[in-house]
Amino acid sequence: MTDFQDIDLTVNGARVRRRVAARQHLADFLRDELELTGTHLGCEHGICGACTVRLDRVIVRGCLVLAVQADGGTVETVEGLSDMGALKDLQEEFLARYAAQCGFCTPGMLITAHALLDGPGPVTRAAIRDHLSGNLCRCTGYQAIVDAVEAVARRRGR
Amino acid sequence: MAGEMPADLFGAASPIGKRQPRTESRRLLRGRGRYIGDIRLPRMLHLAFVRSPYAHARIGAIDAAAALAMPGVVRVVTGRDLVPVTTPFVGVAAHRAGHKSAPQPAMAVEKAVWQGEPVAAVLAETRAEAEDAAELVVVEWEELPPVVTAEDALAKGAIHDALGDNLAFQHTIKAGDADAAFAAAAVVVEHTFRFDRQTGLALEPRGIIADWDPGAESLTVHQSHQSPYQMLDIYAVHLGIPDHKIRVIAPDIGGGFGTKINVYGEELAVCAISRLVGRPVRYLADRLESFVSDTHAREHALTARLAVAADGTITAMELDDLGAVGAYGMHRRFSVAEGMMAITMAGAPYAFANYKARTRTVYNNKTQVGMFRGVGMPFACVTTEVLIDKAAARLGLDPVDMRLRNFRTKASFPCVAPCGAKIDDASFHACLDKLIALMDYRRIRAAQKAWSDPRTLRGIGIATFIEQTAYGPPYYGPGKARISVQDGCTLRLEASGQVRCITSVTDQGQGTLTGLRQIIAAALGVGYDDIEVLAGDSAISPYGGGAWASRGMAIGGEAALKAAIALRDNILAVAGAITQREPSALSLRNGHVIDAATGREIIPLAEVGHIGYFRQDTLPKDTVVEFAVTRNHVDNNVMYYTANGVQGTHVEIDRETGFVTVLGHWAVDDCGRVINPLLVDEQVKGGIVQGLGATLYEHCVYDEAGQLQNGTLADYLVPMAGEMPDIAVGHIETPETATRLGAKGVGEAGLIGAMGAMWSAVNDALRGIGGSIEHQPFTPERILAAIARAKG
């Protein structure tokens, strides 16, 4: 349980080298080692989706991936994706529609929605609800989030 | 004239009433929120609790040797260690005659009384090390028979010997002559209602950092809590530290819903332990321990009856409630409110005179019941509305028509309902009329009556409710609970003409702070972005209540309006001195002092600020510059501001699977003056989804040993995006007359009405086959059983 391993990865465009506990999950690594606290932990058993980040361009649950599994990989968090402008239109629509209340699910929700908008599939309301159904929001009741994602899809010509 | 409302405060051009996006969300959308888990202090230790694996067990020797030998471990503290440095909580309501509760230690000392109660704490350099070591603390347990259900509680011996039995409290109400009315009724309908336990489940678990500074002898606490002031007082009283040496800061909070207004032994323990070790200590609950240690809600069973005349006029109601609230009364919040609200609000929208009710509260070996969104208001709504549907069906009346026939009319206000609920003004008819149009009720009702698919059942639910918001001094004062029911606001004109606001209300996502911006912007004629709001810090804001009982806008908004009016007067006085005009001839707009009569801009606020702060030498000798003001609001004699609303829902039940699909959901709400329709609509929708979750999915399942069986997010179902409907929200505005702002609360309305509407709809659907349902949540298993009973 105290085994350590060296990892070398890219996080939000910057190279990061660290020695980490083998058991440390990616979300704890991002939060505790790199102070990227925009990645939140709501359950730590893979249900709530608050810890969603991108690993090698695919969305993953940060609590179900070990930091050592990201060795050699590329990780993007809400901080990096915001700085890149990748979430800009989603953030605008979330703001306009009050789709972020307490904000705890929000980074994971944005990154999950971004994956749908970036993907090949159709972006209907039903598809949005289905795609987001692994992300728990306790505040909004989801409708404003669905509206926001749908508005971005229209803006992007999807 | 001083203290006068600015003209056109509520006019078409006013920021009040606009769909202004919530400013505070901007940070959160970039991942720049700062929640408890994001805060680290130098030399901070991490704490993990050792929790009771049993619902009821005597604590023998605690052996911490193995834990202390683990890497990074600094100290192990037991419940007994905290006895000399803390005083226990006592959750007794002084205003509720006969109410009793045992003293509750910060951590269990003699015996544990629920599965998950903390008995020891491990401090280590990292959270993982603390958690590893906590597993090695060996406690000698002697299992005791648990009291699991409410029925158990009444039949079995006392959990706390000193109390004699487990009956915490009972209360009866009688108004008019219910017995005579029932005897004379053309129709009497009865229904029983069971509500399983659920939990608030804020996505961010509870968390706290306590930082005792042995040099300054002061305690700074960062806590994920809805009321920093309440916690300040808790720590002052139970740790024996003077108020001014305590500062409680609530940073960004990942959802509260009442779960985080409650008072937890763990949090007192963390503060006491920081004081013992003289270092900052952080405790973050994980999701698994949240399920067993967060407060729960709603373990109630009710029986209700309604007496109705042949023409559909309701003549009497009777209600009997039994609720089990865990092993202790909730400190300062008592845990009797669910039952009391049920019996003091039932039937309130309807104009009958005869009423009889009883509530009983009992203790059992489960985690405590605390405040949760809606508290007991949904019970009042559900019981009344289901009975009205049943009576309407017996009489062959449409359930909407039955409601319209029985609603209290405008002419009857103000009034006191037989249950005791005081209604100053309400809009029952207007809300239901609007809802019927919004949901196209007559059309979907006709379609539902003609529905003939043998695989499915369809039902329509309607639920009217009152919401008692912004609870005031007459409740907690006589209860002798040190709960601040006032809120305050400090406003300061900055030298460059912007405004800084420091408020005692807190915002867990409700948008309260944006509402305050709108009020201040309207009263001071400045832009939203020229206002910055600070909240959640007990050391810098006026004293106040924080966020509970839907009070942010109703009380905090009124305090902000008072402060803005006072600051406006002060600004105009100085502007008058600068420009040699009568202050009463001046007003504020667009960041300028203007001529009130012509609207002409006279001097920018930035110039007034500059002179007021840096060039007082140019002012007459008797001109006083007071560009920071504080105002508070509370109505000393007002118990609450009563809001009201109605909701409708349309459901389809799959007869093979027992699944309930929500086809549509509609709400019309009257929360008085709406400061921001965008924020109010989304509050209502979020509350509705919590109410639908409560009714359809959520329950804490316990076995006979008092062990929680579904304490993970994989097992405890909550509403997700895939199964929730789009919701339409409409408004009626009946401004509160006790305040100038006229806002009432709205935080709980969505949940109350949604539970009522869903109970109404599913029973409506089952009525078609002669069935009914009596047990929440309406799981597929329970729906299928109800269908089987109907067939049988």
Nearest C-alpha in B relative to A32: B38
Are B721 and A100 inside 8 Å of each other by CB?
no
Q: What is this model's ipTM?
A: 0.97
pLDDT at B479: 81
Are A146 and B71 inside 8 Å of each other by CB?
no
Interfacial A residues in 88-107 facing B (CB < 8 Å): 91, 94-98, 100-107
List of chain B residues whose C-beta atoms are within 8 Å of the C-beta of residue A97:
678
B643 Cβ contact list (under 8 Å, min separation 6): B466, B467, B468, B469, B550, B669, B670, B671, B672, B744, B745, B746, B749
List of chain B residues whose C-beta atoms are within 8 Å of the C-beta of residue A43:
287, 712-713
- pLDDT at residue B515 is higher than 70: yes
- pLDDT at residue B584 is higher than 60: yes
Compute the distance between CA of residue A147 and CA of residue A153 in angstroms, rounded to an integer.
Answer: 10
pLDDT at B17: 97
Q: Which two tokens stand for residue B616?
A: 């007082």
How far is CA B299 from its chain centroid?
17
Q: In 3-state terms, chain A is what percent helix, strand and coil (to 5)?
A: 40, 20, 40
List of chain B residues whose C-beta atoms are within 8 Å of the C-beta of residue A1:
132
Across the range A85-105, mean pLDDT stands at 98
- pLDDT at residue B272 is higher than 60: yes
A151 Cα to chain B: minimum distance (Å): 15
- Look over chain B and give the mean of its residue pLDDT values, rounded to a whole number: 97
Which residue has better confidence, B791 or A19? A19
List of chain B residues whose C-beta atoms are within 8 Å of the C-beta of residue A96:
21
Compute the distance between CA of residue B602 and CA of residue B600 in angstroms, rounded to an integer.
Answer: 6
Q: Could you list the beta-strand ranges (E) of B292-409.
A: 296-297, 300-308, 314-324, 354-362
List of chain B residues whose C-beta atoms are within 8 Å of the C-beta of residue A105:
203
Are B682 and A42 inside 8 Å of each other by CB?
no
- Work out whether strand B487-493 and strand B628-633 pair parallel, antiparallel, or are unpaired: antiparallel
Assigned fold of B296-406+419-474+637-791: Aldehyde Oxidoreductase; domain 4 (3.30.365)
Q: Using the Cα atoms of residue B34, residue B38, residue B44 and residue B49 in order, give the sign of their dihedral.
A: positive
List of chain A residues whose C-beta atoms are within 8 Å of the C-beta of residue B712:
43, 45, 47
Q: What is the DSSP letter of B83?
A: G
Residue B94's pLDDT band (cuts 50, 70, 90): confident
- Work out whether strand B314-324 and strand B300-308 pair parallel, antiparallel, or are unpaired: antiparallel
Q: What is the DSSP letter of B546?
A: -
Compute the distance between CA of residue A103 and CA of residue B28 in angstroms, rounded to an integer.
Answer: 5
* Closest CB to A138 among B31, B34, B201: B201
A129 touches chain B (CB under 8 A): yes
Are A102 and B712 inside 8 Å of each other by CB?
no
pLDDT digits (tens, 9 = 90+) for B387-419: 999 999 999 999 999 999 999 999 999 999 999
Domain edges within chain B: 25-33+486-633, 36-144+206-284, 296-406+419-474+637-791
pLDDT at B319: 98
* A to B CB pairs, distance under 8 Å: 183
- pLDDT at residue A2 is higher than 70: no
List of chain A residues whose C-beta atoms are within 8 Å of the C-beta of residue B25:
94-95, 98, 100-101, 103
Compute the distance between CA of residue B36 and CA of residue A102 in angstroms, rounded to an integer.
Answer: 13
Per-residue CA distances from A39 to A32, A112, A141, B31, B198 (Å): 11, 13, 21, 7, 27
Q: Do the domains B25-33+486-633 and B36-144+206-284 sit in the same CATH topology, yes or no? A: no
A1 touches chain B (CB under 8 A): yes
Compute the distance between CA of residue B320 and CA of residue B307 in angstroms, rounded to an integer.
Answer: 15
- pLDDT at residue A1 is higher than 80: no
Q: What is the DSSP letter of B595?
A: E
A18 Cα to chain B: minimum distance (Å): 17
Q: What is the CATH number of domain B25-33+486-633?
A: 3.30.365.10
- Domain annotation for chain A: domains and CATH numbers: 4-81 (3.10.20.30), 87-155 (1.10.150.120)
Q: Which two tokens stand for residue B208?
A: 């706290």
Are B22 and A98 inside 8 Å of each other by CB?
yes
Residue A70's pLDDT band (cuts 50, 70, 90): very high
Strand partners, A74: A10
Compute the distance between CA of residue A135 and CA of residue B203 in angstroms, rounded to an integer.
Answer: 11
B389 Cβ contact list (under 8 Å, min separation 6): B399, B461, B462, B760, B763, B764, B767
Task: Pick the residue of B127, B720, B751, B758 with the most A CBs within 10 A to test the interface with A by mutation.
Answer: B720
Are A50 and B32 inside 8 Å of each other by CB?
no
Closest CA to B287 of A44, A109, A48, A47: A44
pLDDT digits (tens, 9 = 90+) for B113-162: 999 999 999 999 999 999 999 999 999 999 999 999 999 999 999 999 99
pLDDT digits (tens, 9 = 90+) for B332-377: 888 999 999 999 999 999 999 999 999 999 999 999 999 999 999 9
Tell me the helices (H) and strands (E) count for chain A, helix number first: 6, 5
Above pLDDT 70, what percent of chain B?
A: 100
- pLDDT at residue B1 is higher than 70: no
Across the range B422-434, mean pLDDT stands at 98
Are A101 and B203 inside 8 Å of each other by CB?
no
pLDDT digits (tens, 9 = 90+) for B456-505: 999 999 999 999 999 989 888 888 889 899 999 999 999 999 999 999 99
pLDDT digits (tens, 9 = 90+) for B588-597: 999 999 999 9
Residue B96's pLDDT band (cuts 50, 70, 90): confident
Place of tokens 């406006």: B568
Which amino acid appears at position B274 of this protein? S
Across the range B732-744, mean pLDDT stands at 96
Sheet containing strand B775-776, strands side by side: B167-175, B354-362, B314-324, B300-308, B187-195, B775-776
pLDDT at A38: 98
Interfacial A residues in 18-47 facing B (CB < 8 Å): 21, 23-24, 31, 36-45, 47
Are B689 and A142 inside 8 Å of each other by CB?
yes
Nearest C-alpha in B relative to A127: B722
Nearest C-alpha in B relative to A109: B29
Angle between helices B377-395 and B337-345 (to 10 degrees): 40
Above pLDDT 90, what percent of chain B?
A: 96
A84 touches chain B (CB under 8 A): no
Q: What is the DSSP letter of B104?
A: B
Are A103 and B722 inside 8 Å of each other by CB?
no
Residue B533's pLDDT band (cuts 50, 70, 90): very high
pLDDT digits (tens, 9 = 90+) for B154-207: 999 999 999 999 999 999 999 999 999 999 999 999 999 999 999 999 999 999
List of chain A residues whose C-beta atoms are within 8 Å of the C-beta of residue B22:
95, 98, 100-101
Residue B3's pLDDT band (cuts 50, 70, 90): confident
List of chain A residues whose C-beta atoms are within 8 Å of the C-beta of residue B726:
143, 146
Which amino acid appears at position B681 of this protein? D
List of chain B residues whose C-beta atoms are within 8 Å of the C-beta of residue A143:
685, 724, 726-727
B614 Cβ contact list (under 8 Å, min separation 6): B495
Compute the distance between CA of residue B661 and CA of residue B676 in angstroms, rounded to an integer.
Answer: 31
Assigned fold of B36-144+206-284: Aldehyde Oxidoreductase; domain 3 (3.90.1170)
